[in-house]
């Protein structure tokens, strides 16, 4: 989540006599943005079967409804901070929130799946723009370091709550009204956020270069990889379409690395990858998101398609897991303060891996209490590990690269979510083999978590009590 980092000349927005706005107003606006962005990452999952029935969608279509949002969120995250610096955080926030709100309306009125998926992609791109802009607004408004830290903690907690309640809200709206209400929910939130913004003075702008070639290559690479995984899982890996798409994705990735290595002001300085702490955190972030959001996707489909639960019933199944996440987030922060980031990161990944393996006991006629309880360690592990993961990567890079490192971590996490839905969805596409596909997905996730937990334990430096680990 990029912040202004260089002492660049600023260009003040002219023609305004507006007061800067109270920090509380700024925080309220930032909270709304992050809450609705995080909510949309999980609220749709429970509505997927209803969308499929209404718009006659296949499993591949349902995967794209989720991945279209996540893909564009991940792809544009790397340059969103720079763009926010260039046009000013308040203006970037307004553009992002406006686009997100209009795209939500487009999702709600979508007459077909193509329109819905396209609107979801616009939502994801707008969400990527709002995240660094909302953080920059907080940083500009809270000049005291202690108050700013508390404001950012509140901002982070809002995202955790949104992720946690997303399945429940999605189920209630889908059962009580319609799956379209899931998207209409964003309209009043967007209106309130834009109204709050009128009470905030325009932010200064900075001369920040936008790497258009690097951004284009990221979009092509991630989109190609996601398409290949989804298409290969449904149509098979034979023929020419999937191999050609993989070649295009690989070529775009090579182009990205080449442009970054030759640029004087790269979007992602490749020197960051020389830090073993950065590499471990990126791998752990990818895996944690893959298993967490993959589990929500899988269980949302299981509760409804296999067990015949209603959308509100399926959403209610996630309540025990949801109730713990925010509490465990704070416990993870306190544990990291005492023991360093390494302990909660390793512990969280192992707990989540155990929950994933225990999911192998879930069968078509297993009591619903079992998967509901087994979701708890998956949420608990993620809630414990993620705050420490974020702190570790930020504490182990130079201050001027903190924004870029945060954006890179968030990109890795969103890519993990995107590819998990693509791969796991392909494994359960054949409903006659749903149980086998779900088991394979959870075993794959558990193995990935055990590998990244081992890497964290072995490669992340130990930290003395009360200090951050060294790079």
- Which CB contacts under 8 angstroms, 24+ apart, belong to 233-242? 233/422, 233/423, 233/425, 233/426, 233/427, 233/429, 234/58, 234/59, 234/60, 234/426, 234/429
d(CA 232, CA 111): 27
How many CB atoms are located within 10 Å of the residue 92 CB? 25
Confidence tier at 5 by pLDDT (50, 70, 90) = very low
Residues 321 and 453 in one domain: yes
Confidence tier at 266 by pLDDT (50, 70, 90) = confident
d(CA 33, CA 56): 32
Q: Would you state the pLDDT for residue 467?
A: 41
Residues 224 and 176 in one domain: no
d(CA 389, CA 439): 27
Q: Does residue 2 lie in a domain region?
A: no
- 4: DSSP letter: -
pLDDT of 181 strictly over 60: yes
Q: At which residue do the structure tokens 């290595």 appear? A: 261
Confidence tier at 17 by pLDDT (50, 70, 90) = very low
Residues 326 and 257 in one domain: no
Q: Does residue 7 lie in a domain region?
A: no
Structure tokens at 58: 């296949």
Q: Would you state the pLDDT for residue 116?
A: 92
Residues 216 and 188 in one domain: no
pLDDT of 50 strictly over 90: no
Question: Is the CB of residue 349 less than 8 Å from the CB of residue 385?
Answer: yes
pTM reported for the whole predicted model: 0.79
Question: Is the CB of residue 281 less than 8 Å from the CB of residue 342?
Answer: no
Cβ-based burial of 28 (10 A; exposed 0-12, middle 13-18, buried ≥19): middle
Q: pLDDT tens across 119-168, in order? A: 999 998 898 888 877 777 777 777 666 676 677 667 777 777 777 777 77
d(CA 22, CA 140): 11
Q: Does residue 159 lie in a domain region?
A: yes
Q: Would you state the pLDDT for residue 290?
A: 92
Q: Does residue 205 lie in a domain region?
A: no
Q: Does residue 10 lie in a domain region?
A: no
Residues 298 and 440 in one domain: yes
Our count of domains for the chain comes to: 3
Q: Would you state the pLDDT for residue 446?
A: 94
Q: pLDDT tens across 355-373, in order? A: 999 999 888 788 888 888 8
d(CA 151, CA 97): 20
Range of the domain at 465: 269-471
Confidence tier at 118 by pLDDT (50, 70, 90) = very high
Q: Would you state the pLDDT for residue 132?
A: 76
Q: What percent of the chain has pLDDT over 70?
A: 83
Residue 100: which CATH number?
A: 1.20.1250.20
Q: Would you state the pLDDT for residue 11?
A: 40
Q: Would you state the pLDDT for residue 237?
A: 67
pLDDT of 12 strictly over 60: no
Q: Does residue 207 lie in a domain region?
A: no
Widest distance between CA atoms in the chain: 66
Q: What percent of the chain has pLDDT over 90?
A: 14
Q: Does residue 9 lie in a domain region?
A: no
Residues 220 and 283 in one domain: no
What is the phi-psi region of residue 110: left when phi exceeds 0, alpha when psi lies from -120 to 50, beta otherwise? beta
Residues 295 and 237 in one domain: no
Q: pLDDT tens across 65-113, in order? A: 888 888 888 888 777 777 777 777 778 888 888 899 999 999 999 999 8
N-term to C-term CA, the chain: 20
What is the phi-psi region of residue 4: left when phi exceeds 0, alpha when psi lies from -120 to 50, beta otherwise? beta
Q: Does residue 8 lie in a domain region?
A: no
Q: Would you state the pLDDT for residue 453?
A: 93
Q: Would you state the pLDDT for residue 449?
A: 95
Residues 454 and 329 in one domain: yes
Residues 247 and 261 in one domain: yes
Question: Is the CB of residue 123 less than 8 Å from the CB of residue 40?
Answer: yes
Q: Would you state the pLDDT for residue 455?
A: 92
pLDDT of 400 strictly over 50: yes
Q: What is the mean pLDDT of the chain?
A: 79
Residues 228 and 196 in one domain: no
Q: Would you state the pLDDT for residue 309?
A: 79
Helical residues (DSSP H) of 302-433, grouped into ranges: 311-316, 319-339, 342-358, 369-395, 402-427
Question: Is the CB of residue 422 less than 8 Å from the CB of residue 67?
Answer: yes
Residues 164 and 252 in one domain: no
Residues 262 and 276 in one domain: no
């Amino acid at each position: 989540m990029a912040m202004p980092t260089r002492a660049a000349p600023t260009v003040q927005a002219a023609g305004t006599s507006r007061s800067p706005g109270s920090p509380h107003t700024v925080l309220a606006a930032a909270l709304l943005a992050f809450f609705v962005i995080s909510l949309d990452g999980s609220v749709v999952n429970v509505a997927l079967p209803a969308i499929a029935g209404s718009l006659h969608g296949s499993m591949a279509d349902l995967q794209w409804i989720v991945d279209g949002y996540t893909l564009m969120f991940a792809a544009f995250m790397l340059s969103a901070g720079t763009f926010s610096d260039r046009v000013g955080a308040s203006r970037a926030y307004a553009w992002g929130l406006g686009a997100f709100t209009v795209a939500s309306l487009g999702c709600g009125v979508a007459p077909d799946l193509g329109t819905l998926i396209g609107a979801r992609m616009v939502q994801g791109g707008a969400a990527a723009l709002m995240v660094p802009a909302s953080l920059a607004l907080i940083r500009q408004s809270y000049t005291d370091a202690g108050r700013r830290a508390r404001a950012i903690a509140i901002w982070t907690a809002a995202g955790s709550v949104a992720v946690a309640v997303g399945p429940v809200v999605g189920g209630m709206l889908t059962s009580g009204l319609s799956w379209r209400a899931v998207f209409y929910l964003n309209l009043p939130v967007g209106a309130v956020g834009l109204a709050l913004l009128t009470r905030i003075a325009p932010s200064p702008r900075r001369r920040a270069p936008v790497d258009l070639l690097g951004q284009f290559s990221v979009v092509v690479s991630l989109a190609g990889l996601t398409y290949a995984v989804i298409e290969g899982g449904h149509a098979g890996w034979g023929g020419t379409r999937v191999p050609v798409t993989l070649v295009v994705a690989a070529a775009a990735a090579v182009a990205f690395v080449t442009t970054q290595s030759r640029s004087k002001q790269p979007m992602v300085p490749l020197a960051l990858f020389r830090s073993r702490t950065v590499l471990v955190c990126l791998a752990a972030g990818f895996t944690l998101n893959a298993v967490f959001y993959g589990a929500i996707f899988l269980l949302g489909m299981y509760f409804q398609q296999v067990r015949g639960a209603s959308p509100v019933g399926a959403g209610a199944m996630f309540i025990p897991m949801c109730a713990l996440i925010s509490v465990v987030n704070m416990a993870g922060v306190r544990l990291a303060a005492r023991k360093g980031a390494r302990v909660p990161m390793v512990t969280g990944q192992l707990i989540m891996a155990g929950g994933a393996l225990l999911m192998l006991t879930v069968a078509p006629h297993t009591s619903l209490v079992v998967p509901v309880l087994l979701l708890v360690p998956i949420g608990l592990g993620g809630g414990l590990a993620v705050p420490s993961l974020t702190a570790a990567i930020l504490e182990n890079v130079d201050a001027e690269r903190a924004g870029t490192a945060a954006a890179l971590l968030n990109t890795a996490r969103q890519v993990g979510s995107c590819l998990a839905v693509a791969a796991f969805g392909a494994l359960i596409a054949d409903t006659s083999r749903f149980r086998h596909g779900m088991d394979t997905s959870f075993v794959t996730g558990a193995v990935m978590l055990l590998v990244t937990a081992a890497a964290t334990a072995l490669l992340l430096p130990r930290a003395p009590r009360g200090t951050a680990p060294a790079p």
